[in-house]
Amino acid sequence: MKRLVPALAILVVARMTFHALWLPAFEGPDEPHHLGRIVAFASEPFAEAFAGARVPAAVVAAVRAYPCAPVLAHAYGCGPFSERTGAFDLLRPGPPAAAAEAVPNPEANQPPLFYLAAGLPLRLTTRGAGPAAVLLAMRLLSVALVALALFGPMRVATRGWSDEARAAGLLALLLPGASEALARASNDAAVFLWAACVVAVLIGRPRTGTVVLLLAAGPLLKLTAIPIVAFAVVALWWDGRRGAAAAGAAASLAVFPVQLLRGWRFGGTVELNRATAPIAEPGWHAAVGFARSAYAFVKTAFWVGGWSELRPPAWLAAAYFVLLIAAVLASRRATPPTRLSAHRVGLAVAAAGFIVFAVANRRLYGDWGGVAGWYLWDWSPWLATAAADLIRVRPRAVPPLVAAAAVFAAVSNAAWLAAHVRFYGG
């Protein structure tokens, strides 16, 4: 098992690299909009890039030139995959792009730090490169950030874990949904690396300056960092580092004046598409709908299906939930649990954020569901740490659970690839 762990880590990076190269252009969820933020810092005036309000015309033209999913076709007017093979199309010469105009960016709410860090160097290194080339570079950058996290801070954070626990975490990262979340042009892999740094740093007694820089950076990458900030602040407080906890908490608030300077109010698709009416349905109906949102969130953590929303086979989704239930039944509370209060606060903040977003999506689109599970991968270094701190799996159950997880990862990847090859071509 000890030799298997590094082999699995290499396999995770290889799987994500394949995903970055094979996936059709712009098929990663929200890629046109994240890419628009990066390209803006690479080529637009700084004030416009900082505001991030529009997808640049060059990106819009590139999206229209490539085949795309129906939901993107509705917004951008690109053709279906039947007109052109989508697989590996970023490695081939791109189709000619017609002139286009900039459009509102649904990812305008995202804080600017990742886009700034990724986009400004491109002003010097990719002069003349089109959006498709930048898209491929950003996918590969995301894979590199995941690799850096796995072979850097996560090695430190998991030093006291069993080989079986580390293998289970890496097997989870082999699920298709992990690549869909982290091997795309977005800020999610940066949050993954940041989360890994936080849990690694908290093993020791970090300097206050380190805490301030880390906890300021997280929310400036993405607001999904806030639950991990809450965990870290409480963990430091209970460890007697109250000055560092207070300084880190104050630093994490830097995102709010930055967002206000950008003209931010709430953001994203919820900001661009106003809710037309309040929720008017019986309480039991809303409860069932909210449960469906939670179910969709957990299910899409292992399989998103890209912009095309290709769903997993029913038997595979059932097997996924059976595996999750088996893991829960085989677990018991650690005695004593570690950092229980800190994890409770972090999980409560994460749950509150999910509730707010699920209800906002219901008001916006008129139906429940639609909250994708890729946020779980942003949080996964912390969630894995929480599991290690709070849970113990019965020793007899460990070998069959790890074996079942390995089989499920292999089967789900085979099913995912088969379904997507049929849809994208070659």
93 pLDDT higher than 80: yes
What lies within 8 Å, CB to CB, of 263 at 6+ separation is 51, 53
Residue 95: count other Cβ atoms within 10 Å of its Cβ: 18
The whole-number average pLDDT for the span 367-378 is 82
Q: Band of the pLDDT at 269, cuts 50, 70, 90?
A: very low
Which CB contacts under 8 angstroms, 24+ apart, belong to 259-264? 259/109, 259/111, 261/50, 262/50, 262/51, 262/52, 262/112, 263/51, 263/53, 264/109
What pLDDT does residue 273 have? 47
| Cα(85)–Cα(372) distance, integer angstroms | 26
Interatomic CA distance for residues 230 and 108, integer angstroms:
24
In the prediction, which pLDDT does 357 show? 83
**In this predicted structure, which of 153-162, 263-272, 352-361 has the lowest mean pLDDT?**
263-272
**Letter for the amino acid at 247?**
A
Mean pLDDT on 227-238:
97
The answer on pLDDT for 198 being more than 80 is yes
How far is Cα 137 from Cα 23, in angstroms, rounded to an integer? 13
pLDDT band for 272, please (50, 70, 90 cuts): very low
State the average pLDDT over residues 239-262: 94
Measured CA to CA, the distance from residue 350 to residue 167 in angstroms comes to 26
Nearest CA-CA partner of 81 in 73, 69, 94, 64:
69
Predicted local confidence at residue 126, as pLDDT: 63
| Closest C-alpha among 103, 182, 100 to residue 141 | 182
More confident residue, 284 or 354: 354
Token pair 């089989």 is found at 407
Mean pLDDT computed over 161-165: 94
Count other C-beta atoms under 10 Å from residue 71's C-beta. Answer: 13
What CA–CA distance (Å, rounded) separates 8 from 389?
23
CA distance to 23, 30, 308, 354, per residue, from 303 (Å): 14, 16, 12, 19
Nearest to 62 by CA among 119, 131, 126: 131
Q: Supply 231's token pair.
A: 């965990």
Q: Cis before residue 336, ω within 30 degrees of 0?
A: yes
Q: What is the mean pLDDT of residues 399-426?
A: 92
- 108-122 mean pLDDT: 93
pLDDT above 80 for 374: yes
Confidence of residue 277 (pLDDT cuts 50, 70, 90): low
In the predicted model, what is the mean pLDDT of residues 86-113? 88
Percent of the chain exceeding pLDDT 90 equals 69
Cross-strand pairs, 333: 391
- Going by pLDDT thresholds of 50, 70 and 90, the confidence category of residue 187 is very high
Q: By the 8 A CB rule, do 87 and 426 touch?
A: yes
For the ranges 56-60, 119-123, 256-260, 368-372, the lowest mean pLDDT is seen at 368-372
pLDDT of residue 140: 98
Residue 338 has pLDDT above 80, yes or no: yes
Backbone phi, then psi, for 188, in 5-degree steps?
-70, -40
Is pLDDT at 271 greater than 70 in this prediction? no
User: Are the CB atoms for 62 and 76 separated by under 8 Å?
Assistant: no
pLDDT at 371 over 90: no
Burial 45-58 (b: 16+ CB within 10 A, else e): eeeebbbbbbbbbb
Q: How confident is the model at residue 417 (pLDDT cuts 50, 70, 90)?
A: very high
Q: Would you state the pLDDT for residue 127?
A: 63
Three-class HEC string of the chain: CCCHHHHHHHHHHHHHHHHHHHCCCCCCCCHHHHHHHHHHHHHCCHHHHHHCCEECHHHHHHHHHCCCCHHHHHHHCCCCHHHCCCCCHHHCCCCCCCCCCCEECCCCCCCCHHHHHHHHHHHHHCCCCCHHHHHHHHHHHHHHHHHHHHHCHHHHHCCCCCHHHHHHHHHHHCCHHHHHHHCCCCCHHHHHHHHHHHHHHCCCCCCHHHHHHHHHHHHHHCHHHHHHHHHHHHHHHHCCCHHHHHHHHHHHCCHHHHHHHCCCCCCHHHHHCCCCCCCCCCHHHHHHHHHHHHHHHHHHHHCCCCCCCCCCCHHHHHHHHHHHHHHHHCEEECCCCCCHHHHHHHHHHHHHHHHHHHHHHHHHHCCCCCCCCCHHHHHHHHHHHHHHHHEEECHHHHHHHHHHHHHHHHHHHHHHHHHHHHHHCC
173 or 97: whose pLDDT is higher? 173
pLDDT band at residue 309, thresholds of 50, 70 and 90?
confident
Q: What percent of the chain has pLDDT over 70?
A: 94
Min mean pLDDT across 97-101, 107-111, 243-247, 394-398 is at 97-101
Question: pLDDT grade, residue 264 (50/70/90)?
Answer: low
pLDDT reported for residue 426: 56
Cα–Cα distance for residue pair 69/25, rounded to 1 Å: 10
More confident residue, 345 or 92: 345
Lowest mean pLDDT among 210-219, 266-275, 364-373: 266-275
Q: What is the mean pLDDT of residues 55-65?
A: 94
Contact 202, 168 (CB under 8 A): no
pLDDT band at 81, cuts 50/70/90?
confident
